[in-house]
Structure 1
Amino acid sequence: MADIPRAVLSEHIQDCLKGRRLISAVFLTFQFDPGFFEQEVLPVLLDVSVSHAAAIRLVQLEDALRLLAGHIAVYFDANGIVTSDSGSAKLDIRRIAVRHRTGIFHPKNIFLLVEQQEPDEEGRRARTLVVVTMSANLTRAGWWENLEVCHVEQVPNGGKTRLRNDLLAFLMDLRRRSTSETEHLALRDIIDVVRRTEPRALRSADDRLHTHFYGGREAVPEFLDRVAGPSLRGTYLEVLSPYFDDATSSRPLTELMDHFEPKETRVFLPRSADGAALCREELYESVRATPSISWGRLPQDLLRLGRNDDAGRRLMHAKVYRFFTQYPKREILFVGSANLTSAAHQTGGNVESGFLVEIDPLRKPEFWLSTDERKPKDFQVRTENEAVAASGGTPLTLRYSWDIQIAEAFWDAAGVSPTLQLAAQGILLGYVGPFAPRVWVRLSSDFAARLADTLATTSLVEVISDGEPALLLVQEDGMSHKPSLLMHLSAADILSYWSLLTPEQRTAFLESRAPELALLGEGAHLLTRIRRTLD
């Protein structure tokens, strides 16, 4: 059995950032836990030591974001909001819901614009675009619990790359998918860097495939065939996917077989904790009866949550299509967000992304999967869009602008909306609508005031109409005008926060925060708010 490369996701990304500082970042995800993202993922990027106390940690991250030269944005499926004990979004992060009408918005990417911390001999700090494609959602399960896949490419500012044109098309399309009048400052920073690169004309060099980016403009088999067809035909193939179609056979698997005619194929069989196969029995039998294809399983130690035998199991959530030959040694992988489903593999289905990458095997490649000939006693159908059904979804976008203190609504559907009931943390915010389709509507000043008060504690709002309640994540603009999280700390937390600061940090804090703090005391009406920009 081959050695399977493994790493901790956050540590792997942190290693890619060593010696460099973040300028701007764009995240793409299907499921989005905003509280977990802010408290656990952001510290990985900002390289700051944070307190174990959540309230203090958020204030520390708020301070770090004030010093960021660029911007951070998260694009997520509007129906993919996940809640946890981490709470809701509170920091100056652009949160942009995407509604994809023919499927789900399913890519998992990170785009990081970074620069060297130390200048070169000419005083310049080299900038690099770090592009991450993976299978992990921005959730606790995706970053801490599941078995996922990730590949990182680094593109020097102004350098040559085969990724340029496909990345640019994908990012421009992302901007068009968002609600009108949405700011895309972080995305603009990333697009500008991609535009400054030069495209490589050749698909390979010295018999080695350049890494290619897949952005969904063609079906997955057609992309693989166009880019590397001759190198993929007649190889060994194994497929890792947690989801299949709810069908009697796997059309995506059949199309891969027809395109590439592999010598032998193994497909990971996802099982529940009690051993049930997570697919239809007819599909299982169809794959099992196909010559040269067998079901497979991963080593048990890879799926355990801990070292002990009685530790819980990880969900195998990676999406890997691994083509390899033994003579000569060659290994080409397609990794990213695409499950072995029709919606993921065909055009007009989901929005997906991935990398086709060739790696240098240290030894003769072997299958990662061992054959799984034990027939399941039970079958349970599980589909990739279950999260949509679980979290609901709404065509409503709600936006609050802190700089001008107004609230607006946008109904992203063909017809007029019904009257909508909005609530947060069990408290009624009010009734809004009906709304005409796809135009921004300014809401009453009373509602705006109630929403501003609510946003001090949560940005998650329940939208209730004829059906079940749906979750909405409020967009917040002009966040530099939002009252600091520091104002909501207890006296004990403030003292704890102050004790963590160095003398230099305390001085900077007083210079930047004193005017804001003064506005909250007696005589505040006599003061004028002052914004200072520190060098």
Structure 2
Amino acid sequence: MGTVILAEHLKEKMNGRKVRAAVFHTFNFEPDFFENYLLPLFFPDIPFGENRIQNAILWRKFQHELPPITVYCDFHAKAQKGINLDYVVRTIDIPKVAGVKPCFHPKHSFILLEDWELLVVTGSNNITEAGWCSNLEGFSYLSLKSNEFFPRKFKDELKEYLRDLRNTFFNERFDETESWSKADNEIDRFFRQVGYTNQNPNLYYFNSARRNEFHDGTFVSFIKFIKDELNKGLPFQRVNVISPYYPTSSGLFKEFKDLTECADISFSLPFENVDVVAIDKVLYEEVASMGINWKEVNDVEATKGYRRNHSKVYELIGDSKVFTIVGSVNFTNMAWKGVKNGGNYESAILYVTDKTDYQEHDLLKPCDISTLTFTEPKPEEQISEDREDAYDLRFILDWSAKTLEVINENEDNQRGYISGGNFSNISINGSRIVRLSEEQLRYFANRPLIPVKPSGKDTIFYYYPIHNNIEAMPMPERLVLNDVELLELWKSIEQDDDPLLSLQLIDRFIDRITDEAGDIQEATLIENHSTLNIMATHINGLLALQKRLFTEKGLKQYREHTRKLREYYLLANNVDTLYGYRKLLKKMESEGKLNEGFYWLLLNIIDLFFYMNVEADDFQLEDSFDKILSIHKELATEIQNVSKKMIGKDLTKNHLKWALKMIKDEVAR
């Protein structure tokens, strides 16, 4: 048992290896934190940092390299901010039982590496900034690998937990190839390996939704198994419990004391601030009168100021063994009662250690009670009792087709509409596909979250959509490189041996548009240090990009890399792609900073160089060519609109056609 920074620990264990797939389970989920702090751990060579604007641009450039990733979280505990990258979030809503609503509460990270080693983190840490950066959290770390460390019984418990979750809440078999969760499929492939090892790991898995030979899904039965089977029915010599939440009455404390038959039990005080504890003083005194000690967490003293404890750790010291349980299980009735009895979905891992190998470490220490202030106890995990059973809905946003698909799994009983923005016409009463306006697309690009107002209910349900063709998702309108920066960036991609050049140029762009605090300086966004008086600069930039994207060398690896680059620069919506360039040109033309004739010419060059004379074999993905044809149609429409505006102007279409012919001849050389 020791103290580490979890992110640094994971980075060290990954040791530069690529991630094959990852599945995360959490109660609370903050996508903004996940995308800016955790996912960058998978890409140590890309200079992600604290500037979220820079991270957004870098993610657009490299998100095609993301492995399959799925996050499971409680429906009501997710942040009301959308996801901006190509991963899947599956929210879980457990129906009310006798008017009480349980929650999905496990915290797991399953990270499968390229060499088929699985890193497993189980503990108390949600995927939130507090859970990974500021709270005191308890977690266990394991590494599983076929033929190296692969204890059959334990790994099968994890496998069945994952399969049960998919089957119960998503009606999905483990071998369902059409699943939205490709990450789950990969993790299940790992668990189907049979390179079992003979170690006796002294590991046991607790899952409150599944009974097995060790327990019936209740935490009471799990503690009873430890005492009766592993501790030979003997009373425990000492017990320490760390929990941030407690029940409002003393019943569970008495049951625990009777179950353990221990005369030396200590519980951690639930501090809410320095010398402030969130527990009713009457309950505190009643528990103390049972001979139970109230103490404080030992490691908190090593931190400056107040640091909230969110760990859930049970240490039971027997005559010859020490039993340590680490996981999501608070010392509360909802955490202990089991899913089948209307309790929370919980999980934990039990470590059994010989007492001779146990390193004495006091988890708790005495506390000066006279300085404490007692306040009202906080609801477990700040859970609101007003939570409604959510509608079973799914939404698929296709950024290329510009559609939103509504999937209603219970059309007779689930009625309402999408609220917020210009969505009064989008009903969720039946499954259907809706074509989105440009205004609606911009709304979802800025906040990719679907708010649903259910009929007859005074609440809003929020849903994370599944993203299709996310590379076409618009960037925020105000993030646009000026033409000098963009053309310089395109020239840099000719230098394949130095990919950091383009990253340095992006860094310079971020420096230009933000202040020292990392906030955008609005005045800098309208700067267009235009080179339009030198038309050759734009044309040469396009020529450099065309040459790099459509010149394939002999090596297979180089050809595949070129196709990947081609799909990014032709199809992705980012500040340094052709989409970003077209957006910049349109903005400059609308503001009168770009001659209509030159705008017409550049649109034709873009169409001719990149979209008109390509074939399906020029791309890696099957549907890329269909997207190219769609963009070609968009360009043709825009070119036609500009042509109409040019009628009667001094610069005629014949002049521009002549210029276009000269450029065609230049490309053909």
Q: TM-score range by the shorter chain?
A: 0.7 to 0.9
**What is the alpha-carbon distance in structure 1 between the residues aligned to residue 286 and residue 459 of structure 2?**
39
**What is the alpha-carbon distance in structure 1 between the residues aligned to residue 125 and residue 491 of structure 2?**
36
**What is the alpha-carbon distance in structure 1 between the residues aligned to residue 161 and residue 50 of structure 2?**
38
Contact 1:400 1:474 in 2 (8 A): no
The 5-angstrom pairing of residues 328-477 of structure 1 reads: 330-348=321-339, 349-358=343-352, 365-372=360-367, 374=369, 376-388=372-384, 394-395=390-391, 397-402=393-398, 405-410=402-407, 416-423=413-420, 427-433=421-427, 435=429, 441-446=431-436, 451-465=440-454, 469-470=459-460, 472-477=462-467
- Shift, 1:363, TM fit: 6.5
Corresponding residue SS for 1:314? coil
Contact 1:337 1:353 in 2 (8 A): yes
Answer yes or no: is 1:142 the counterpart of 2:131. yes
- Shift, 1:341, TM fit: 0.9
**What is the alpha-carbon distance in structure 1 between the residues aligned to residue 326 and residue 361 of structure 2?**
18
**What is the alpha-carbon distance in structure 2 between the residues aligned to residue 128 and residue 193 of structure 1?**
9
- Shift, 1:478, TM fit: 2.4
Count residues with an aligned counterpart.
493
Answer yes or no: is 1:280 the counterpart of 2:280. yes
- In structure 1, runs of 5+ residues without a counterpart are 116-125
**What is the alpha-carbon distance in structure 1 between the residues aligned to residue 222 and residue 314 of structure 2?**
13
The 5-angstrom pairing of residues 198-277 of structure 1 reads: 205=200, 210-216=202-208, 217=210, 218-226=217-225, 229-232=228-231, 233-245=235-247, 247-251=248-252, 253-273=253-273, 275-277=275-277
Corresponding residue SS for 1:239? strand
Contact 1:303 1:314 in 2 (8 A): no
Q: 1:72 aligns with which of 43, 66, 69?
A: 69
Amino acid at match of 1:236: R
- Shift, 1:215, TM fit: 1.9
Query: Percent identity at matched positions?
Result: 20
**What is the alpha-carbon distance in structure 2 between the residues aligned to residue 135 and residue 303 of structure 1?**
20
Corresponding residue SS for 1:444? strand
Partner of 2:55: 57
Contact 1:486 1:494 in 2 (8 A): no
Partner of 2:619: 532
- Shift, 1:410, TM fit: 4.4
Contact 1:150 1:335 in 2 (8 A): yes
* RMSD between aligned residues: 3.6
Answer yes or no: is 1:90 the counterpart of 2:89. no
Query: Which sits farther off after the overlay, 32-41 or 295-304?
Result: 295-304
**What is the alpha-carbon distance in structure 2 between the residues aligned to residue 271 and residue 497 of structure 1?**
52
Q: Which has the higher strand share?
A: 1
**What is the alpha-carbon distance in structure 2 between the residues aligned to residue 254 and residue 411 of structure 1?**
47
Amino acid at match of 2:244: P
**What is the alpha-carbon distance in structure 2 between the residues aligned to residue 497 and residue 149 of structure 1?**
45
- Shift, 1:24, TM fit: 0.3
**What is the alpha-carbon distance in structure 1 between the residues aligned to residue 187 and residue 417 of structure 2?**
37
Contact 1:37 1:139 in 2 (8 A): yes
Amino acid at match of 1:334: I
Higher relative contact order (CA 8 A, sep 6+): 1
Corresponding residue SS for 1:395? coil
Partner of 1:107: 106
- Shift, 1:274, TM fit: 6.0
- Shift, 1:331, TM fit: 3.3
- Shift, 1:345, TM fit: 1.2
Corresponding residue SS for 1:456? helix
Corresponding residue SS for 1:338? coil
Query: Which sits farther off after the overlay, 233-242 or 469-478?
Result: 469-478
Contact 1:278 1:381 in 2 (8 A): yes
Corresponding residue SS for 2:221? helix
Contact 1:110 1:133 in 2 (8 A): yes
Amino acid at match of 2:366: T
Mark the CA change 1:163 to 1:451 in structure 2 (over 3 Å): closer, same or farther. farther
Mark the CA change 1:399 to 1:297 in structure 2 (over 3 Å): closer, same or farther. same
Partner of 2:27: 30
Mark the CA change 1:158 to 1:300 in structure 2 (over 3 Å): closer, same or farther. closer
- Shift, 1:273, TM fit: 2.0
Which structure has the bigger radius of gyration?
A: 2
- Shift, 1:58, TM fit: 2.5
- Shift, 1:421, TM fit: 4.4
Query: Which sits farther off after the overlay, 139-148 or 379-388?
Result: 379-388
Q: 2:313 aligns with which of 320, 325, 331?
A: 320
Mark the CA change 1:527 to 1:148 in structure 2 (over 3 Å): closer, same or farther. farther
- Shift, 1:346, TM fit: 1.6
- In structure 2, runs of 5+ residues without a counterpart are 97-101, 173-178, 211-216, 503-547, 549-560, 572-576, 583-602, 622-669
Contact 2:404 2:436 in 1 (8 A): no
Partner of 1:17: 14
**What is the alpha-carbon distance in structure 1 between the residues aligned to residue 17 and residue 477 of structure 2?**
32
**What is the alpha-carbon distance in structure 1 between the residues aligned to residue 613 and residue 347 of structure 2?**
52
- Shift, 1:285, TM fit: 2.5
**What is the alpha-carbon distance in structure 1 between the residues aligned to residue 467 and residue 416 of structure 2?**
25
Mark the CA change 1:512 to 1:258 in structure 2 (over 3 Å): closer, same or farther. same
Mark the CA change 1:363 to 1:96 in structure 2 (over 3 Å): closer, same or farther. closer
Amino acid at match of 1:462: P
Mark the CA change 1:210 to 1:33 in structure 2 (over 3 Å): closer, same or farther. same
Contact 1:391 1:471 in 2 (8 A): no
Corresponding residue SS for 2:76? coil
Partner of 1:122: none
Mark the CA change 1:496 to 1:235 in structure 2 (over 3 Å): closer, same or farther. farther
Amino acid at match of 1:150: F
Contact 1:336 1:355 in 2 (8 A): yes
Mark the CA change 1:388 to 1:111 in structure 2 (over 3 Å): closer, same or farther. farther
**What is the alpha-carbon distance in structure 2 between the residues aligned to residue 365 and residue 377 of structure 1?**
31
Amino acid at match of 1:214: F
Amino acid at match of 2:466: E
Mark the CA change 1:297 to 1:53 in structure 2 (over 3 Å): closer, same or farther. closer
- Shift, 1:277, TM fit: 2.9
Contact 2:325 2:351 in 1 (8 A): yes
Q: Deviations over 1:266-308 (max 9, x none)?
A: 00011222634312334323311113x211112474474x4xx
Mark the CA change 1:256 to 1:53 in structure 2 (over 3 Å): closer, same or farther. same
Amino acid at match of 2:42: L
**What is the alpha-carbon distance in structure 2 between the residues aligned to residue 407 and residue 185 of structure 1?**
22
Contact 1:249 1:282 in 2 (8 A): no
Q: Deviations over 1:384-416 (max 9, x none)?
A: 242456998842534124265542334577972
Q: Deviations over 1:437-496 (max 9, x none)?
A: xxxx1143247x665433322212333355555352322242455347599742168689
Contact 2:242 2:297 in 1 (8 A): no
Amino acid at match of 1:470: I
Mark the CA change 1:428 to 1:290 in structure 2 (over 3 Å): closer, same or farther. farther
Q: Which has the higher helix share?
A: 2
